[in-house]
Amino acid sequence: MKLAISSDEHLDINRQDLMELIPRQAEFLQEAGVDHYLLTGDLFNDFEQTFAYVERLQRALGRSMRVYFVAGNHDMLRGVTYDQLEQPELLGPHYLHHRVIHLPGTKVSLVGNNGWYDYSLADSLATARTAADFQQWKNTYWIDRRIAMPLSDQERMARVLQQVELDLKIARERGDEILFITHFVPRRDFIFDQLDHPRWQNINGLLGSQALGQLLQQYQVERVAFGHLHTRQRPVTIAGTTYFHAPVGYGLRRLNEWRESNFLAEWQRDLSMIEFPSI
């Protein structure tokens, strides 16, 4: 069984024509023999558009391949509430947040969670900053200030950790290996290295949670796919867990992160592929 992973496509910011793009993506995935296509967040700045895109792509792929996604912070900016995001049963079969999906014919389960952050990825240079300091910076400068939610960042992350632990237990009780899917960063190993710059110290605190990485290590999760960073790297194994990060990123005149000349070529280049044996 083959899985393809992609992240941070930002289809609206990258000004993609979906009528043209979706058939070409579907054709490529089908020709590559992919069985499941996993999206780790940030497709649009509007959840309704993300949801519609996933459904259109699924129709183009037909029944032979399944598409799953978690929501990134950009997807959460419009078109959805926090309460809606926390009700996966109401958002259809493609939404992977707080769900465990056993892959038929394998000993593998997908465990999904959108994730969040608790400021713990900020380096030691930021230890003098309080939660209120991070919150104030976020509310002034960071795009996530547009995301309405009824609890603090630390409270939201604590709920994420509770959900993830519950779902990891379910997968382990089945005797399955785990591929964990999230948007936010699970380990400090992946954050930016510009640690002496105050702006990056604030940004690092809003990228994810060290506690998530510790929980994944506690349950000896075999594979993790995440997004959010837009940095290119090959799969890397840390403490027995292999991490996949496959962002497309921005192909803009003012901010060009691509190595190819167009979106489709960059998307194809950035895809991560995983194969699991059938039983």
The model's pLDDT over 143-194, given as tens digits with 9 standing for 90+, comes to 999 999 999 999 999 999 999 999 999 999 999 999 999 999 999 999 876 5
DSSP of the chain, one letter per residue? Answer: -EEEEEB---TTTTT--HHHHHHHHHHHHHHTT-SEEEE-S-S-SSHHHHHHHHHHHHHHHGGGSEEEE---TTTTSSS--HHHHT-GGGS-TTB-BTEEEE-TTSSEEEEE------STTS-GGGTT--HHHHHHHHHHH-GGGG---SS-HHHHHHHHHHHHHHHHHHHHHTT-EEEEE-SSB--GGGS-S-TTSHHHHHHHHTSB-HHHHHHHHHTT-SEEEE-SS------EEETTEEEEE-B---B-SSSB--SSSSHHHHHHHH-EEEE----
- Give pLDDT tens digits for 50-103: 999 999 999 999 998 999 999 999 999 999 999 999 999 999 999 999 999 999
Average pLDDT value for residue range 129-141? 88
Q: What are phi and psi of 137, to 5 degrees?
A: -65, -45
CATH number of the structural domain 2-275: 3.60.21.10
- Give pLDDT tens digits for 256-279: 999 999 999 999 999 999 999 988
Higher pLDDT, 114 or 231: 114
- Give pLDDT tens digits for 27-46: 999 999 999 999 999 999 99
Specify the pLDDT at position 199: 66
Q: What's the rounded Cα separation, in Å, for the pair 106 and 255?
A: 41
Q: What's the rounded Cα separation, in Å, for the pair 205 and 140?
A: 15
pTM of the model: 0.95
Diameter over CA atoms, the chain? 53
The residue ranges of every structural domain in the chain are 2-275
| 46's tokens | 């509007």
Higher pLDDT, 97 or 141: 97
Torsion, Cα of 199, 201, 207, 220 (10° steps):
160
Q: Over 60: is that where the pLDDT of 248 sits?
A: yes
Q: Over 80: is that where the pLDDT of 209 sits?
A: yes
Q: What's the rounded Cα separation, in Å, for the pair 217 and 235?
A: 17
Specify the pLDDT at position 58: 98
If one counts every other C-beta atom within 10 angstroms of the C-beta of residue 113, the result is 24
